[in-house]
Structure 1
């Protein structure tokens, strides 16, 4: 038994929201069904309500009914179909209608669904409640939707198929419930008989419907405005496609075209023979079938005119090669078509084996020669008049390449010339163009490599400093106004090889790496050998490595790098070489680390000494990381007193540590020890360094120097002297003495210090302040430290020399004697007293100074006569030398007398010169 609730009302609906509002006012009665029974809940929207979609709310918004194999909402009727009611379906159902134009939504009144209590519905076969028409026309390109749904218990399964067995194309879509099939962009191949099969365990039912294809007419070929001459024939075609096939009609000036003997329509084409002026007008071609009508319009103009060359004159000049064929067009505008004749000069042309008068009015002359050159005229005539047009024919010699480029082999860096020389008609201009691998050569852009050389009849190409990229085909193209010729040559550039490829480390040990690679480009010169290079974090760039085999020939693509350092990260690359040279290196291999091994290199520069009392200090240069050969690297320090057989050993675990200090109160000062330092890592112990002798820490001096004295030498220098301390070699080595000094305005704690190295027992302290008391003390020191200071002594620096130089220096020359006189220098109260004077003199060509000392204000010099002399005078004091007088330049002396006073000279005295002090001493002034 099937209970259907089908209450609905019909109102006019024109797609406005007001009509949809009426849906709300319809009262809904309770629908009572048995469990397992099928039911249809009717939506009942107004008829003609426009485009809209349907959905159903279950109980409350927004809980919508979800479509599945048991529930289906028809988008044709809006009804809700439940194939088999279950207890969970009990509730209120509300139909929702949505306008697809405005997106406005209207809800109907709720419909209660309840279960009857008088039993459960038994099983029954599918009953199709929603099905598509038996025949349904579908337009081309439209979207076709077919609905099919059945009630039944158990819930029926729905399947779709084509009756002809053809599979559905991928564009066909099925709804979730399988209750609707959608075919977008409907085409003729989609037409056919479709079947909806509903089936359950109680039976099956089938709904069938045929989709037929139709298409409105659409244009394949439109007519266009056309101009024709009187007496011509017209064939005007318009074509359209459609389903069913369209028929055609023609109109002229809006009226049906009357068919007569010279006017016919064949398959839509309009045919008019022997056109006259009355055939002009607006024409329409109409294509139609039962689904639509389309129009195409155009203007037909039938014209009558005398021949006219104004829009199609003949070329003024035609240039041709000897032996070619000349074509002369003669196409004046003319209605009807004009008859034509041809003249050369004033002579009428007649046809022969070389001359042809063409049907279209043109002229053809085969195998032209120099004698065919001249003026040609076409004369055109019809019943409305006549006209003419002329041209000139120039016949020239062909262009020939007399010296063509040839194939060449060159090496990178060389320069070559590719010749291209021609013979051509002197009446024609000629141009040369070069192409490289089909690309036009730009001589301005590529001026560093390409240059055209040669005369007017030569287009030779020079290529400088050839590179690999210049390998290829070169074409010389020669053009004139009438012909062109070309010649090609291949240029092979041989260069050093390209980089090898796919470098790979196949096998790695502690000291070796087996590599493989693939051959790169040989750049037209066979590869002769390969070289392996390596790089580590410790190397300076890439370094060549030793290999097995020692020489890797060009046919070998595997080799082993040997003598590598263990536990070091390596990269490898390969360089190929040929007779041109070494090529670019390959890309680096992946980084690989060699395996660990026992260390082989002990530390270098093992030494020691120094430190504090009771210490033995041992030092070494740490082993570089690349020679540590593995993790867990450290040092084994071994030592023993000289003459003892047993070694004392200790371990230093830090690989960067450069020293070890052994402390023991039993260690005597400056005792000799034999020392060696070994290495180890996780793989084991390596070798020791050679045994060397290291002394324990020395004993610092315990007594102060005696006999300390200080003497002032000048206004800025004090000399300090002392007596050496007694010293025993068993206590160590005395390195020297330290002198501390400070002035009476300073503090002892911030005193300055100066050292005397070794056994020196005096030192000069310089750069002191003048006329000031300085205190000094002395102590001895060695590597263990310094001893006590001596008692303090003092000395006062002398006053500064006078700030006044000797003035008014006057000289007088008699023969080779130079007499000098100057004013006495008077010291001020804070300056040292003058005790004498220095006369410094030298030749202008030498730097060595001679010095004469005197305690007077005059002096006599005996000088040779062969050079210029420069002389100056200084005051001498206990505090040092005073300021020099102005320099005097005495010119070369002759047998004449001369005199003068102090004057500036061109070259001053050197700031550091050798000075000879006559009668007294020789010193160096700085």
Structure 2
């Protein structure tokens, strides 16, 4: 480009020099001079000077400026433009010396020599010079040394650099070149940081580079946001009366940090006994002076600078102390004729290792009292409370740190235990929505208090305990179905009596005890039916692959009301989930538990022979003087010898074992001592190797007064 401009200028001014060509020769070609900023340079003026000493004027022009910036005539002081004042001077007869060259000096220069005593077309000549000034990069615009930005916002940092040749501008962080990404945008010397987080804080370096050198500017980004905990508290264990120290150091900008500490959920300064012994240091640390056992628990640090939600960090304080007695009762009550306990309420950390007792002020020799023993927690167990138990007791617990001393004395007082005067029956059947009252009354001195509780899942329906202790269920619901307990309590002890409530006219209850035996392409699913709600129920098997979603379950109806089913068509080496759903004419019940199984690898060899065990048959019940005689016939098919039989019974919904070791050669059993006014059901199963058969048919027995009524149910079979 420079050569193109030089050629153009030479052609334009070639005609101006024709008048002088005869006397002074042909005008010289343009010169090219290169200098570094700050150096000194001489721009040559190649002209022919008069030999006879004629006067002349030297003028220097810069391309783009209308008037000369340097004029020199003989011995007069030269005229110099302010931009070159002090830097430009004549060198030799007409060359120009420029000191401390600047980047702005870059460009074309023209030298003219005016011969004052010659005609216009012959009095001047001169030459052109191009000055190239190489300058290292310098910044003309940079961001401040510190910039602030809010967490979640964005910011743009811009650097503009000048130099010759033109420098390239890049951004670096931690020594690494930054490029455009989802987080950063880099373009034309600008850096934009998006979605600012705490991790974006720190130094960002702007670098301008060219062959002449480089320039660097550093800006630090300060991120405004909530504090960040850099040194959270840690769990500590101290002995009683020592000081506890929790650290909690946080960083934030702005740094107007305040620290709040909590014990459990309460501010430590709001806990009466603690507030006088705690202090929070300026660095956030918490000191608890002279710790007590009650100080143990979770401590939470919450630093804040009024921006955003304060972070939290928690740690636990464990206080070790000698064993002590807490809340020793003023009187110990024991029920005459029943087992009883003389307890020492101990609090200790580490755990108690020994408890010593005194009775009436003398060391207690437990081995001197028949039926007395000391339990692991130090309490005394009395097999049968008698007058020998009377006395005043004190206890002293010990642990690895020692003991805090003897308990207050507590006299033992004998009381009569509660006694049921009216006991609830074994089973109550009532329709849903109707009222049911179950009697239960008790007596004793002092008079007992009667409460009722449902065994297992509690009932959410409304029930009342009548003044004399009976349970009133005003409007029976499905949740009321199950076992209930009447509890009679006085200061001496508590006694219970159980009954079973069957709510008729509801949807079925969930099947239980779901079992899935998985093979390569099929699964044998079995379950125990829940209460049918008073109507015949049917079942369906629901299954899906585990990886599928909640709406991908498939259902398969179970034929014939069976409680087992073989599910074919499964994929080998696949995880499946199974659940059972029961249904009667009133609707469907809840699903059973979900059972997850893995199918087996598809067999490549001859499969093992099928193991077969069918249930015992024809279970019957007959009344005898000794009780109910239960008889049965052995299984029709079994691939190995029968080892023994198991007889089960139930009064309500739950099956219990009557005898689990009936020899294989016997096929009868006498059930003795049946509860009067109760409904019993019996079933028998066979055991072969590690396999248990499906139950036999169920036989029902109702005892009313001195009579026993026998009911037979159809046999049921299950898959193998």
Identify the TM-score tier after normalising by the shorter chain.
0.3 to 0.5
- Structure 2-normalised TM-score? 0.35
The structure whose RCO (Cα within 8 Å, separation 6+) is larger is 2
Pair member with larger Rg:
1
- Structure 1-normalised TM-score? 0.29
